[in-house]
Amino acid sequence: MPTLLRVEGFRFYFYSHEPNEPPHVHVDKGGASAKIWLDDIAVARNIGYRARDLTRVLAIVQENRAMMLESWNGYFGGNGR
């Protein structure tokens, strides 16, 4: 599970066994978890985040999208699919 970023208590990472899905990150904090698509920055799944926290998660992903996509493509090769 490569961790890409830790900020404000959030941990952004991807699983090493998901190469056939579109680029995305998982985000955990305090028992809450979300899966965020990177191509269009959209929530794929949310378990436990309040709207305010999820809004912050999406903003952090937006701010770091280029790095996250580069990490995804570097790890999985090509476009990761």
Distance in angstroms (rounded) separating the CA atoms of residues 71 and 14: 10
Give the residues across from 67 on adjacent strands.
none
Q: Which residues pair with 26 in a beta bridge?
A: 13, 35
62-73 residues labelled b (16+ CB within 10 A) or e (exposed): eebbeebbebbe
> What does the pLDDT look like over 51-78, one tens digit per residue?
999 999 999 999 999 999 999 999 988 6
34 Cβ partners below 8 Å, 6+ apart?
Answer: 26, 27, 43, 44, 45, 46, 47, 49, 54, 57
Tens of pLDDT, residues 17-47: 887 899 999 999 999 999 999 999 999 999 9
